[in-house]
Structure 1
Amino acid sequence: MPNPVHPETRVGHIHLKVADLDRAIAFYAGVLGFEVQQKFGTQAAFLSAGGYHHHIGLNTWESRGGTQPPPGHTGLYHTAFLYPDRASLGDALRRIVSAGITLDGAADHGVSEAIYLRDPDGNGVELYRDRAQADWPRDADGSLTMGNAPLDLQALLDEAA
């Protein structure tokens, strides 16, 4: 068996092929609140949280005017954006509700709370917050026991206030 990846390795950023750059920016910046760091004309944009060079790259280099992949094909399942706390996740939910975007689902996984939706190009998006590891559910032998319980969205919205 090969050596495992270093435990401090992180996923740095994502690049998404989109059909309409302005529409994608409206979602990732206008709804989710990421900041545009740089645009390359009408072909690409780079967005981030906190002024980082980019967490999200959006481009139309191979996809301008393209269509969503059909169900049953390979591709991106979803991106996942980790929020620092429950109030921040609640604020993200508030933005989504205000924009009239339909959720695909929401779940309490025991280790995290997550909201699932689609961006304008049909890419899956997960917005979540982790619980402290000390609060993760474990069985009698100490093994992690994740679940898929319903998430109380109203309580999450109340937390944002």
Structure 2
Amino acid sequence: MQTRSPAAGILASGAPAASAPTVRFGHVGITVADLGRSIAFYGAAFGFELKMRVRRSAPWIGEIIGVPADLEFGHMHLESGMHLELIQYRAPAPLSAEDELTWRHGHQHVCLTVSGIEAWVARALAAGARRVSDTPVVIPEGKNSGSRCCYLRGPDGETIELFEPVAV
């Protein structure tokens, strides 16, 4: 008897399942206070290119997010294929983040894998980022031993992790 593992997309026998559900990474979405400012920041700091900017207030949006809304989206891409969705709520009235505590449940961050981490930190700071880490930290143990990492804050307090793996 063969059983299918939907999560794995294979039959218990090891054969690929013809109609197994699939999953892949889609995009990172960040709610921002000023879409134009954030588009400029992510372009200048990390080289994201704006692919589309659009405003929507259709009923289907409210059905998805759970409240009637008027939103403006900026869809940005990196050459590597990463897709960043910046969202500015026009309605309902936006709420500010309580704090920027990375240890608060539900806190999220975006990680960008880079080479030449100091140059990327400098570029992000010049574009308006703020430091969380004083300097890139060398990871002393585990599978990422020798890699370097730092946290920055974007224009709306969002956490941006820059990660430079050990060269292979």
Q: State TM-score, norm by structure 2.
A: 0.60
Name the structure 2 match of 1:121. 156
CA contact (8 A) 1:35 1:51 kept: no
Q: Are residues 26 and 90 of structure 1, via their aligned partners in 2, closer, same or farther at CA, if it must alter by over 3 Å?
A: same
Give me the CA root mean square deviation. Answer: 2.9
- In the other structure, the counterpart of 1:17 is 31
Larger Rg: 2
**Structure number with higher strand proportion:** 2
Displacement of 1:119? 1.0
1:74 aligns with 2:105: yes
Identity across the alignment (%): 26
5 Å-filtered alignment, 1:112-151, equals: 112-132=147-167
Q: 1:98 pairs with 122, 126, 131, which one?
A: 126
Q: Give the TM-score, by structure 1 length.
A: 0.62
**Structure 2 unpaired stretches of 5+:** 9-22, 56-70
Map Cα deviations across residues 17-74 of structure 1 (whole Å, 9 max, x no partner): 112111211221122221111111481101111174x511001236765312335753
Please tell me the residue identity of whatever aligns with 2:111. Answer: A
Alignment gaps of 5+ in structure 1? 134-161
- Match of 1:107? 137
> 2:41 aligns to what?
27
SS at 1:43 equivalent? strand
Structure having greater relative contact order (Cα 8 Å, sep ≥ 6): 1
Q: Which is helix-richer, 1 or 2? A: 1
Moved over 4 A (4+): 62-65
